[in-house]
Amino acid sequence: MKRLLSTKILDPKAEALLKGAGFFLQQYDALEIEFMPVHMESLPAIFSSRNAVKACFGNPTAKPAEIVPECFCVGNKTASLLEQYGQRVIAQEADASRLARLIVKKHAHKSFIYYCSDRRLDTLPDELKAAGIPLEERIAYKTKFRKQSFENPFDGILFFSPSGVQSFLEGNELGDAWALCIGSTTAGEAKKYTDKIKIAKQPEAMALAELAIQFFSKNTTDIHE
């Protein structure tokens, strides 16, 4: 039986899919999110995660702008959540680098506010600033590591963010496990520690679960045997 570790508690559908495929599945939340008081303004806004959206629109200490004219975001689920809060999504991309390139190409005349984590990557702000696009950053939430050590090895570890990779490695080693990553940005962090990396076709938990099933169905040797 293949052993998988998810560094995020999966939704019931993804969990059922993996267990139904015969995996031994262990789960924990590698990250703890603390929402910050956020003051928003009526300027085009960038969101690279659902946590940033929740911090701005679902956080009682936030002060949402009366009108956010345009939203730009990373990921389908981030876009869907923005729309649930009545926001207008102008563009979405699978990762921060692609979103930055789209903004540089089509929206370089605008000024933006980037609502992000205190552990945000440099990719998006660096690319926009290099293109001379005005960008103000506001910390919408803090990301804290939840350290947990695991004695038994895993065949695969599901990672959902670069911070999740960092948090896991504070108390563990990857060893021979495959790093199954939700996107290229997360894979970039994992690549600092291993070459055994696979990336989901879509930045979604279900796509990551499907990746694990497809990949391990072709690789039958269990690490723990």
66 versus 89: which is more confidently predicted? 89
Q: What is the mean pLDDT of residues 207-216?
A: 96
Tell me: pLDDT of 64 over 70: no
What digits encode the pLDDT tens for the residues 72-101? 999 888 999 999 999 999 999 988 999 999
Average pLDDT of the chain, as a whole number: 92
- Residue 225 has what pLDDT? 45
Q: Where in the chain is the domain with CATH 3.40.50.10090?
A: 3-30+145-218, 39-143
Q: Which CATH architecture has domain 39-143?
A: 3-Layer(aba) Sandwich (3.40)
- Residue 163 has what pLDDT? 94
- Residue 221 has what pLDDT? 56
- Residue 130 has what pLDDT? 96
**Residue whose token pair is 């000024």:** 111
Strands in the chain per DSSP E: 3-6, 24-27, 31-35, 45-47, 71-74, 89-93, 112-117, 135-145, 156-159, 178-181, 197-199
Instruction: Report the half-sphere exposure of 191 (CA within 13 A, side-chain side).
Output: 8
Q: Give the span between the Cα atoms of 181 and 160, in whole angstroms.
A: 6
Amino acid at 140: A
Using alpha carbons, select from 92, 4, 111 the residue that is nearest to residue 49.
92
List the CATH code of the domain at 3-30+145-218.
3.40.50.10090
Report the share of the chain in percent with pLDDT over 70: 94
- Residue 68 has what pLDDT? 83
- Residue 65 has what pLDDT? 64
What digits encode the pLDDT tens for the residues 120-175? 989 999 999 999 999 999 999 999 999 999 999 999 999 999 999 999 999 999 99
The mean-pLDDT minimum among 15-24, 42-51, 54-63 falls in 54-63
66 versus 62: which is more confidently predicted? 62
This prediction's pTM? 0.84
- Residue 74 has what pLDDT? 92
Q: What is the mean pLDDT of residues 1-18?
A: 96
Q: Which residues make beta-bridge pairs with 178?
A: 156
Q: What is the mean pLDDT of residues 63-68?
A: 68
